[in-house]
Structure 1
Amino acid sequence: MASLCSNLHPPFSFHVLSRQHNVPNCFFINSRVKFNPTRTITCKKASSRGPETDRVVKIKFEKTAVKQGDKKFVHEGLITESLSNGMFRILLDNKDLIIGYLSGKIRKNFVRVLPGDRVRVEMSPYDLTKGRIVYRLRNKDASG
């Protein structure tokens, strides 16, 4: 942040008092610093536009904590039975019988899934009896 305001000196330090940053010759438009991705800073700077003009600077901060997804197992199987509430009984290619539910994209796009369809299922390593149906595979005998 110090490099954006040209009127700050290199040995520059922030003074943090009650979650508020005080910067010499610069001040925040928002008096309190909130943890949002962009912050707005106003700096007084001598420029060609006038002796004392306000300059608004937008700073982008990167998120430090990135959520990492779990490793998913992907299997293919055949839907054998339709249960209530959008659940299906699926016989996987490795002869395991699991319960699968529709993913959000399939539900959102109104993809019709019926018994007898082949599907691709994502399974969590924590519970191998349930899976999420992420793709309905095309039948070989269906034309068009």
Structure 2
Amino acid sequence: MSDGTTGLIVAGRVTDVLPRGLFAVRTENGPVTAGMGREAAHVVRVKPGDEVEVRLSPRDPTRGRIVGRTR
């Protein structure tokens, strides 16, 4: 079982807020649909235009999880 820590981390910009806690993120490699963090205590609050780091899914590189905001 994977603990969810594998996967490439890429930088991108949030372009749109989607339903159910998802965000559209544009990276230099193309678009990614990203979900929020694992735990409610560690929610990363983002809005369109924010620069974020996304951990890509090893199974589907068009999906990932926002792991942090870059300043």
Q: Name the TM-score class by shorter chain.
A: 0.7 to 0.9
The aligned counterpart of 1:38 is none
Residues 110, 127 of structure 1: CA spacing in aligned structure 2 closer, same or farther, 3 A cutoff?
A: closer
Q: Which runs of 4+ in 1 moved over 6 A?
A: none
SS in 2 for 1:108: helix
Conserved? CA contact 2:44–2:68, under 8 Å: no
Q: Using the alignment, how far apart are the partners of 2:44 and 2:66 within structure 1?
A: 11
User: Any residues of structure 2 matched to 1:1-144 within 5 Å, and which?
Assistant: 69=3, 71-94=6-29, 96-105=30-39, 107-138=40-71
Shift of 1:136: 1.1
Letter in 2 for 1:100: A
Conserved? CA contact 2:44–2:67, under 8 Å: no
Letter in 2 for 1:119: V
Residues 111, 124 of structure 1: CA spacing in aligned structure 2 closer, same or farther, 3 A cutoff?
A: closer
Unaligned runs of 5+ in 1: 1-66, 139-144
Conserved? CA contact 2:36–2:44, under 8 Å: no
Q: Percent identity?
A: 34
Shift of 1:93: 2.6
Letter in 2 for 1:127: D
Higher CA-based Rg: 1
Letter in 1 for 2:56: M
Could you state the TM-score of these two structures normalised by the residue count of structure 2? 0.82
Kindly tell me the number of residue pairs found equivalent between the two proteins: 70
Letter in 1 for 2:24: R
* Aligned alpha-carbon RMSD (Å): 2.0
